[in-house]
């Protein structure tokens, strides 16, 4: 206590000095004009009947269109406390005109053609005087009356194939009308120049996917008609004409709508309107980085491979690859209509295969309607050996933890097995967990080596789907990309000294494929039709002692095997990533299903040998980025249902707490439900909690504090809500099962903040969180009390078990 008091006296300052220091630190000026108004800030006020989201978007975008002479010059920002202005510009009202021109041009591109600008305004605020120098801080204000945004009235196409055809009977016109419903210019939607550009790009891409190889943006344009049809009515009555003009002006102000026609420019080169067909496809799978494409194309190759149809050719100097992986990943064929989508799909798919480090292509026109396609593939090194050393602290509060884990792993990769681009990986890993210090001041005797782990795994990744042909024709697979078949096996041995020995072996066979759409939606499927996991647990004297102290642990530590068969399936995962509705936002939705032992249910003799359960989970993530901040949240729900009176094995159960989940609790230290069984046993006992069900929600506001080139210092404010439960009631562990009537009492809430050190390649995260609501807290229905605030509490007066109300987490990468 005396030490704390001494330190407090040493760092204490009178309040006026702290206030003055903060003022000078918070905002520093350098070389500012003396006794002359300078630009300190600017502000945009938007007036109009628009949504809040649209107003925020326009405000953020318009702030980039201030003239340079009206932009405050922030040169650095440090931890949110230090803002430095270097040579701020002198304020001049004439600079409003230039800003008005820039902003008006942007507003017109967004469909606000009738926006008007209010009178220029500004205010000057005197800053702190330094010596005899006065600071005249000026804030410029731009008021904009948006008016009505332009809507799209109608859309029409006008395309021809030759100068002799009318647009009604041309192939281009028919193609355009086929995808009319996919247009970006739908009736009644807001008009923007970006939509016009997107529509022109969409049409060009659609034409090029149907053989029009030489068709480009230069051949089409958009004609926008802003006139009112009523003005073209013939009348000799001046009163009627005046009424028509007044009616048109009223409509223009109240509901402005424009007609858009996409038309084709005239061209003298008629070959640009020809359909092109693929003639031959050439692959160069052992290309070197320094090779010149023209040299390879014109080289007299002595070694070549060719398919039966004679349209695919493989030219090589060294026989490194067979024809098969190239044929299977070529989505164009000789004699087929040129399709640019399939051309880039071939290019991207070959680039995604690790056997090649770089893939380029060139298209050469042959005659008036034929194309030769050449792919140049630079191979990656066939073998690669990696060594990794890992270290971790196994504790929710790393400042008080006593377990240090160290592991060494080595892996051997072969990127081209059997010359067909199959990937193989062999991984050998060994690790130990050391007990370095005594925990929580307990006078306990413990061995130095706490845990020993060893594992050996081998994986094959085939760049195609090894499945029956009828399955390949399914719609969900037929149009998929990045297909892989994964076959893996592993053996592992874990010994927790004096507690248990765990031996395991697993084998699984699975398929992974991806589906992407034009709306930037990306869906990834992973199906493991066969999954076999074998486990054997030896209970040692230490575990038997723990069983006597906590009988509930017997349900988790039991021996059995996991076997999932093709039908209904060992496991299926689906992940969908797509842009959000708001600008610069994205969402991710994932669900997964796993089962074991369903086909063995009728065989009672296998009940004690095969785990029988069904497990499912769903997860939703959302993130919206702003220039210097980001808001993100995650929703998760998972449940495992044991069958035939069994319990879910602990390695398939859920847990909460740690650096990535419920950060106010240590790793595996939350739950179950509002049960206090694990909190009231001795501190040196086994207190990890595993449950059959988990609900969790995480919310986080991330923001940047400082940037030094590629290095960023950030922070976050976050809240974690959730818990872990069992699905079945247990008399030995009351209130551990899930119940809707008790959900409010069982929910745990933690809030906190943290520091993020972003080194571009990796991110180090330090989070501090406090338990706002702890289901195990006896008082105030689990809620914290500001009046009786405490950093820790005792849950059992007999064992003096101390439970911290906070946790400090050290993590790598973002939590979600």
For residues 657 and 668, is the Cβ–Cβ distance under 8 A? Answer: yes
For residues 756 and 702, is the Cβ–Cβ distance under 8 A? Answer: yes
The whole-number pLDDT of residue 523 equals: 86
In the block, tokens 């305004």 appear at: 121
CATH code of 129's domain:
3.10.20.310
Determine the Cα–Cα distance for residues 376 and 312; give it in Å rounded to an integer. 14
Identify the H or E element spanning 22.
helix 15-26
Write the CA distances from 719 to 194, 701, 777, integer angstroms. 38, 9, 19
125, β-bridge pairs: 137
Domain boundary among 109, 130, 145: 145
Determine the Cα–Cα distance for residues 349 and 326; give it in Å rounded to an integer. 10
231 and 291 inside one domain: no
Determine the Cα–Cα distance for residues 745 and 137; give it in Å rounded to an integer. 53
Determine the Cα–Cα distance for residues 717 and 627; give it in Å rounded to an integer. 17
Q: Show Cβ contacts of residue 714 under 8 Å, excluding neighbours closer than 6 positions.
A: 702, 703, 704, 705, 755, 756, 758
Determine the Cα–Cα distance for residues 373 and 338; give it in Å rounded to an integer. 10
Q: Is residue 472 part of a domain?
A: no
Determine the Cα–Cα distance for residues 615 and 568; give it in Å rounded to an integer. 13
* Phi (first) and psi of residue 258, to 5 degrees: -120, 150
Grouping H, G, I as helix, E, B as strand and the rest as coil, residue 102 is: helix
* Phi (first) and psi of residue 102, to 5 degrees: -60, -45
224 and 118 inside one domain: no
Determine the Cα–Cα distance for residues 147 and 119; give it in Å rounded to an integer. 16
Q: What is the pLDDT of residues 752-792, one digit of tens each?
A: 999 999 888 888 899 999 999 999 888 888 899 888 888 88
Write the DSSP assignment of 469-504 as a string of letters: HHHHTSHHHHT-EEEEEEEEEEEEEEEETTTEEEEE
Q: Is residue 580 part of a domain?
A: no
Determine the Cα–Cα distance for residues 304 and 428; give it in Å rounded to an integer. 39
Q: Which two tokens stand for residue 17?
A: 């000095």
304 and 261 inside one domain: no
The whole-number pLDDT of residue 242 equals: 64
197 and 297 inside one domain: no
Sites in the chain below the pLDDT cut of 50: 1-26, 76, 78-82, 164, 167, 231-232, 394-402, 438-445, 566-569
In the block, tokens 């680039």 appear at: 351
Determine the Cα–Cα distance for residues 479 and 473; give it in Å rounded to an integer. 9
Domain carrying residue 729: 654-816
228 and 310 inside one domain: no
Q: Is residue 160 part of a domain?
A: yes
Grouping H, G, I as helix, E, B as strand and the rest as coil, residue 119 is: coil
253 and 117 inside one domain: no
- The conformation of residue 420, written as its DSSP 8-state character, comes to T
What is the number of alpha carbons within 13 Å of residue 205 lying toward its C-beta?
14
Q: Which two tokens stand for residue 532?
A: 């076999």
Q: Which two tokens stand for residue 724?
A: 């872990």
The whole-number pLDDT of residue 799 equals: 58
Domain boundary among 145, 170, 195: 145
> How many domains does the chain fold into?
4
Q: Is residue 436 part of a domain?
A: no
pTM: predicted TM-score of the whole model, two decimal places: 0.74
663 and 716 inside one domain: yes
Q: Is residue 725 part of a domain?
A: yes
For residues 191 and 151, is the Cβ–Cβ distance under 8 A? Answer: yes
What is the number of alpha carbons within 13 Å of residue 760 lying toward its C-beta?
5
Q: Which of 798, 804, 753, 754 is nearest to 776 (CA)?
A: 804
Burial bucket for residue 802 (CB in 10 Å: 0-12, 13-18, 19+): middle
141 and 160 inside one domain: no
Q: Which of 743, 725, 747 is nearest to 734 (CA)?
A: 725
Q: Is residue 571 part of a domain?
A: no
637, β-bridge pairs: 618, 695
Q: What is the pLDDT of residues 338-360, one digit of tens each?
A: 999 999 999 999 999 999 999 99
Determine the Cα–Cα distance for residues 397 and 749; give it in Å rounded to an integer. 17
The whole-number pLDDT of residue 94 equals: 83
Determine the Cα–Cα distance for residues 158 and 173; give it in Å rounded to an integer. 7
Determine the Cα–Cα distance for residues 160 and 157; give it in Å rounded to an integer. 10
Q: Is residue 428 part of a domain?
A: no
Q: Is residue 553 part of a domain?
A: no
Determine the Cα–Cα distance for residues 365 and 440; give it in Å rounded to an integer. 77
158 and 139 inside one domain: no
361 and 304 inside one domain: yes
294 and 244 inside one domain: no
Burial bucket for residue 218 (CB in 10 Å: 0-12, 13-18, 19+): exposed
* Number of helices followed by number of strands (H, E) in the chain: 15, 34
* Phi (first) and psi of residue 149, to 5 degrees: -80, 145
779 and 678 inside one domain: yes
Q: Which two tokens stand for residue 726?
A: 């069992």
Domain boundary among 127, 145, 163: 145
């Amino acid at each position: 206590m005396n030490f704390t008091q001494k330190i407090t006296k040493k760092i204490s300052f009178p309040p006026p000095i702290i206030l003055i220091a903060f003022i000078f630190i918070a905002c520093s000026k350098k070389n500012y004009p003396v006794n002359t108004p300078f630009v300190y800030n600017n502000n945009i006020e938007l007036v109009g009947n628009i949504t809040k989201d649209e107003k925020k978007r326009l405000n953020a975008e318009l702030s980039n269109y201030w003239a340079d002479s009206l932009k405050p010059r922030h040169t650095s920002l440090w931890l949110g406390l230090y803002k430095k202005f270097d040579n701020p510009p002198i304020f001049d009202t004439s600079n409003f005109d230039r800003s008005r021109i820039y902003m008006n041009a942007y507003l017109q591109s967004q469909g606000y053609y009738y926006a008007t600008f209010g009178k220029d305004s500004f205010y000057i605020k005197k800053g702190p005087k330094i010596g005899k120098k006065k600071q005249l801080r000026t804030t410029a204000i731009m008021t904009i009356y948006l008016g009505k945004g332009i809507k799209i009235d109608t859309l029409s196409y006008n395309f021809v194939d030759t100068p002799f055809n009318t647009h009604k009977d041309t192939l281009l016109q028919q193609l355009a009308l086929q995808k009319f419903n996919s247009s970006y210019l739908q009736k009644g939607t807001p008009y923007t120049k970006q939509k016009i550009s997107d529509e022109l790009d969409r049409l060009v891409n659609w034409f090029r996917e149907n053989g029009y190889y030489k068709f480009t943006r230069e051949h089409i344009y958009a004609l926008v008609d802003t006139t009112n049809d009523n003005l073209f009515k013939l009348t000799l009555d001046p009163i009627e004409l005046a009424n028509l003009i007044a009616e048109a002006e009223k409509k223009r102000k109240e509901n402005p709508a424009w007609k858009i026609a996409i038309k084709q420019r005239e061209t003298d080169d008629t070959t640009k309107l020809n359909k092109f067909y693929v003639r031959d496809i050439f692959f160069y799978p052992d290309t070197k980085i320094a090779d010149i494409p023209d040299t390879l194309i014109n080289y007299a190759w002595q070694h070549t491979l060719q398919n039966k149809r004679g349209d695919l050719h493989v030219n090589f100097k060294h026989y490194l690859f067979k024809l098969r992986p190239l044929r299977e990943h070529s989505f164009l064929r000789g004699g087929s209509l040129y399709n640019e989508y399939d051309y880039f799909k071939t290019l991207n798919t070959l680039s995604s295969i690790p056997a090649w480090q770089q893939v380029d292509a060139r298209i050469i026109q042959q005659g008036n309607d034929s194309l030769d396609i050449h792919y140049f593939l630079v191979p990656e090194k066939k073998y690669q050996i990696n060594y990794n050393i890992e270290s971790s602290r196994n504790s929710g509060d790393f400042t008080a933890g006593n377990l240090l884990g160290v592991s060494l792993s080595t892996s051997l990769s072969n990127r081209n097995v059997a010359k067909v681009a199959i990937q193989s990986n062999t991984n050998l890993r060994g690790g130990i967990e050391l007990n370095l210090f005594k925990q929580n001041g307990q006078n306990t005797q413990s061995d130095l080596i706490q845990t020993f782990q060893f594992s050996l795994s081998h994986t094959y990744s085939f760049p195609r789907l090894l499945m029956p042909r009828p399955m390949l024709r399914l719609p969900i697979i037929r149009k998929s990309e990045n297909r892989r078949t994964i076959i893996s096996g592993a053996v592992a041995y874990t010994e927790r000294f004096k507690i248990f020995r765990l031996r395991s072996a697993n084998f699984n066979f699975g398929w992974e494929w991806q589906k992407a759409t034009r709306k930037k939606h990306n869906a990834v499927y992973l199906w493991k039709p066969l999954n076999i996991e074998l486990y054997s647990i030896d209970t040692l004297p230490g575990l038997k002692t723990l069983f006597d102290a906590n009988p509930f642990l017997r349900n988790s530590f039991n021996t059995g095997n996991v076997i999932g068969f093709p039908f209904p399936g060992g496991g299926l995962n689906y992940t969908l990533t797509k842009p959000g509705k708001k600008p610069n936002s994205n969402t991710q939705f994932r669900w997964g299903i796993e089962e074991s032992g369903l086909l063995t249910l009728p065989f009672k003799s296998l009940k004690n040998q095969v785990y029988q359960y069904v497990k499912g989970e769903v997860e939703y993530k959302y993130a919206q980025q702003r220039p210097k901040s980001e808001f993100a949240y995650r929703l998760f729900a998972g449940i495992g249902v044991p069958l035939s009176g069994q319990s879910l094995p602990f390695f398939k159960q859920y847990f909460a707490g740690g650096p990535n989940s419920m950060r106010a609790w240590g790793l595996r230290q939350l739950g179950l439900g509002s049960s206090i069984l694990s909190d009231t046993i001795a501190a040196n006992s086994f207190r990890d909690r595993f449950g059959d069900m988990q609900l969790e929600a995480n919310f986080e506001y991330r923001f940047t504090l400082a940037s030094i080139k590629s290095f960023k210092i950030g922070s976050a404010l976050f809240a974690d809500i959730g818990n872990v439960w069992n699905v079945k009631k247990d008399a030995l562990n009351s209130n551990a099962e899930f119940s809707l009537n008790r959900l409010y009492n069982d929910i745990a809430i933690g809030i906190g903040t943290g520091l993020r050190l972003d080194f571009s390649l990796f991110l180090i995260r330090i989070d501090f969180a406090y338990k706002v609501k702890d289901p195990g807290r006896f008082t105030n229905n689990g809620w914290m009390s500001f009046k009786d605030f405490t950093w820790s509490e005792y849950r059992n007066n007999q064992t003096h078990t101390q439970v911290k109300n906070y946790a400090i987490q050290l993590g790598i990468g973002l939590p979600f």
